[in-house]
């Protein structure tokens, strides 16, 4: 896992439902990275975990696109197809980040993922299996705003405090930079879902709240295991 104005890869689309629940929970790691006080090992651990998160999310988005297409929801399917394509780009850039962290292919293969970091993609997969796809559009759009903001902060800090190159920061830049097409696709998906009576805002906001809590769990798991208090 923002903006027309740096709010995440899908951004806000002008629709109240797609803005989702407010608040992102207590992220303990990003402020430490922003201050340059988190160890480089925390950044390496993030890269290791994302090597599991990104492929899982890509599979989930592919399944959601297929479900939406089968349900004759082309606007929703287009949104998830766009996300799936983006995860492929992110995975390529993640390899550069991993190399900058000193992680080789064997280290990536041997890494045992942390449950607290993988709760987010597990929940996305759960949504992909059974939730109404347009409700997932709303939930993801809300959480991508938080994720995009975190990525923007981390990218700046890695350059300033840790000596990472622009290329090494490309993974974070990708999620922090504006994505007008994603924002437009999200807006159209929500409009179409509402017009067809498929959007349930109560559930969409519940899913968004859960995703934001799992997002915080991802970062705080890394803080708990990689930062010496």
Average pLDDT per consecutive 10 residues, the chain (229 residues; last block may be shorter): 39 41 66 97 98 98 98 98 98 97 96 98 98 98 90 98 98 94 97 97 97 96 85
Residue 14: the pLDDT is 36
How many Cα atoms are found within 13 Å in the side-chain-facing hemisphere of 62? 9
pTM of the model: 0.89
Residue 227: the pLDDT is 81
Whole-angstrom distance, CA of residue 57 vs CA of residue 61: 6
Whole-angstrom distance, CA of residue 120 vs CA of residue 116: 8
* SS3 state at 5: coil
Contact 169, 142 (CB under 8 A): no
Tens-place pLDDT, residues 23-40:
334 899 999 999 999 999
Residue ranges with strand state E in the chain: none
Q: Copy the structure tokens of residue 123.
A: 């929940």
**Number of CB atoms found within 10 A of residue 196's CB:** 14
Q: Copy the structure tokens of residue 197.
A: 């009576």
Residue 144: the pLDDT is 86
């Amino acid at each position: 896992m923002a903006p027309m104005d740096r709010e995440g890869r899908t951004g806000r689309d002008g629709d109240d439902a797609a803005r989702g629940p407010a608040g992102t929970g207590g992220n303990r790691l990003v402020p430490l990275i922003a201050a340059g006080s988190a160890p480089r090992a925390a950044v390496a651990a993030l890269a290791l975990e994302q090597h599991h998160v990104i492929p899982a999310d890509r599979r989930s988005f592919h399944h959601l696109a297929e479900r939406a297409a089968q349900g004759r929801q082309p606007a929703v399917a287009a949104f998830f197809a766009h996300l799936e394509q983006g995860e492929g780009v992110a995975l390529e850039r993640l390899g550069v980040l991993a190399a900058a962290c000193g992680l080789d292919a064997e280290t990536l293969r041997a890494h045992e993922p942390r449950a607290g970091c993988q709760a987010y993609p597990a929940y996305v997969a759960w949504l992909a299996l059974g939730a109404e796809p347009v409700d997932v559009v709303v939930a993801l759009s809300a959480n991508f705003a938080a994720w995009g903001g975190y990525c923007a902060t981390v990218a700046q800090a890695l350059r300033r405090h840790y000596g990472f190159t622009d290329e090494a920061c490309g993974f974070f830049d990708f999620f922090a930079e504006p994505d007008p097409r994603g924002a437009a696709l999200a807006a159209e998906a929500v409009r179409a879902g509402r017009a067809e009576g498929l959007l349930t805002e109560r559930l969409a906001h519940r899913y968004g709240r859960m995703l934001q809590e799992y997002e915080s769990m991802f970062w705080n798991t890394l803080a708990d295991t990689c930062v010496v208090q």
